[in-house]
Chain A
């Protein structure tokens, strides 16, 4: 996208190939925000083309978008930027539908993007907080598969949490 590349001349570019063949050309500093890629790059004689058969192009694109934002802002680490990053993150997760959220989480987890996993799990947690069990089930379409009476038994065990 339009983000200007850093002025350093020695920027290494990596090609990331998603499961559906879509490739992304990204700066090393951006891609190494992801622990898995960082490990691959640090290996000696690593190639510039990295295949990621477990991640779909759409979600890889979003993950990399997040990486780009956070890699850029790492270089000048003042407090104002921290705030901007927080806002950006908040908007990044604001309107995610559950399908996207799920795939992003899977991708971020697979690529060991720890900070991104934190951001997304916090988003999911915020969808759970303060809700009753029935509401959580409704939100995430979770079906209870307990045997009759089993649920009641578990409820009883920690009854204070369900009152």
Chain B
């Protein structure tokens, strides 16, 4: 029904400050510890305030409807589309207010009760709502999530919607026209919708569009196009992307700081570069499961801070060691029988990103024999999160040896997270023995995975349990901890303040 997650302002969405690793500590909202506001008990007679009766007791009056239009509009603008529209039948006073205040239009078939409608009814509803919006109003966001096929049938409608919201100076546009990732074979790609970028032209300046997310679309900008001068966040999913497309995007979207490419159908070689001499502002780049890709060249991204990569083992990465990359998410997939190759890739991380401070690393099958006993130094690494997943049928291996290689190479590490349950008992034992100051061990049965672009997801499936069940683990670690406090010594020489084991 109306869970809190669909309530409230979805805008503004994530920004750079939210690029962080899954933080587990929820702020404890301890209300009691705060100042108590002192309020005067004395009632004074209300004299001059507009339109209110001078009663001493608060009358059971409809005060809210007396608020000025702009205040009521501000209230309605904070509501979801559904709640905003439903205010129209409260009373005559409210009837038309939503039409000038609705700011976030969310046509997601999952919420807002659209899931039961067939495509035609859905399209009619979108049309109706857009038609009811007052002209001259601006809107913040438009989200369309619906598989509307074929494009020939609904293309004109969607085009019209984009035109309307572009005229309303939209800042955030999110269009997802498929619920699954299609195999982007050539004939299907030809049937994709084409994003009408030209609708965002503006005589004086470029459009106000800041966030754009497209799924199952084509996004081909011409070589010169100033329409997206404000665009800061761009996410493309299932979008065909050639080197020329990419170059045009990077050369035209001069404010672009965040670029995420998910299951895009790419040129074999992608070089992230611009035709202009000025350096690119891009700070976050995510390349996730892009098809056909063989080489990624990010050497021109001189301002990159965060880099996420999830792709096949054979993809070559060309990095710029001078780029200020401090945060990396890294995962490669390997064929099942090809387990010995990947250590080489992983060895490059320390060399490619010498300023690395936070590493989020997913490995399907981390084993002793994949890790050399010594890794190149991660001179600045202070936060390492390992996401390990096992098929429950698969044999589990001790994490100790591969982890020790990591730990030895990371002298400044002070926070370690392990997501996914394996044979950690040896590792905990090791940590406790060799750690100068062990601040905290936290155990959790939640299984956490990473969705990309800064958002962790919780996996609902039961976690693969290794040799010891989680409860055994708790007991052992506590025992080990108290035992080890007397024997603390660091042979390796690193100091932990926190150890998280999930």
Binding site for B on A (CB under 8 A): 1, 19-20, 22, 53-59, 61-62, 65, 83-84, 87-88, 90-92, 97-99, 101-103, 105-107, 109, 117-118, 121-122, 124-125, 128-133, 136-137, 140-146, 151, 154-155, 157-158, 160-163
Contact = CB atoms under 8 A, between A and B. Distances in A.
Contacts of A143: 62, 91
Interface in B68-115: 68, 70-71, 74-76, 78-83, 85-92, 94-95, 112-114
A87 B29 contact: yes
Interface stretch (B39-47, B282-290, B357-365, B412-420): B39-47
Residue from B37, B85, B89 having most chain A Cβ neighbours under 10 A: B89
A148 to B, nearest CB: 13
Q: Is the interface of B mostly helix, strand, loop or mixed?
A: loop
B128 interface: yes
Contacts, number: 158
Across the A-B interface, give the 4 residue pairs with the lowest CB-CB distance, nearest first.
A19-B48, A125-B78, A99-B58, A102-B63
A98 B57 CA distance: 12
Contacts of A145: 91-92
B61 interface: yes
Contact of A160 (B8, B76, B112): B112
B37 A97 contact: no
A106 B50 CA distance: 9
Q: Is the interface of A mostly helix, strand, loop or mixed?
A: helix
A51 B340 CA distance: 80
A130 to B, nearest CB: 4
Contacts of A146: 89, 91-92
15 contacts: A84-B34, A87-B31, A98-B58, A99-B63, A103-B49, A103-B52, A118-B74, A125-B76, A129-B80, A129-B83, A143-B91, A144-B91, A158-B132, A161-B86, A162-B89
Interface of B: 1-2, 4, 7-8, 27, 29, 31, 34-40, 42-50, 52, 58, 60-68, 70-71, 74-76, 78-83, 85-92, 94-95, 112-114, 117, 125, 128-129, 132
A56 B44 contact: yes
A140 B125 contact: no
Contact of A109 (B36, B61, B70): B70
Given A53-B48, A55-B49, 18 more contacts: A83-B27, A91-B31, A102-B67, A121-B71, A121-B78, A129-B8, A129-B83, A130-B2, A130-B7, A130-B83, A132-B86, A140-B62, A145-B92, A146-B89, A157-B132, A160-B114, A161-B82, A161-B86
B49 A140 contact: no
Given A99-B58, A144-B89, A158-B129, A128 B113 contact: no
B50 A160 contact: no
Contacts of B114: 160
A142 B63 CA distance: 8
Contacts of B44: 20, 22, 56-58
Given A99-B58, A124-B64, A62 B79 contact: no
A154 B91 contact: no
Contacts of B40: 58, 61
Given A55-B49, A98-B63, A142-B65, A162 B83 contact: no
Given A19-B48, A98-B63, A88 B35 contact: yes
Contacts of A91: 31, 34-37
Given A19-B48, A54-B50, A129-B7, A122 B78 contact: yes
Given A56-B48, A121-B74, A130-B7, A154 B89 contact: yes
A77 B273 CA distance: 37
A105 B63 CA distance: 11
A160 B86 CA distance: 10
Nearest to A1: B38
A163 B42 CA distance: 46
Nearest to B79: A125
B76 to A, nearest CB: 8
B128 to A, nearest CB: 7
Contacts of B34: 84, 87-88, 91
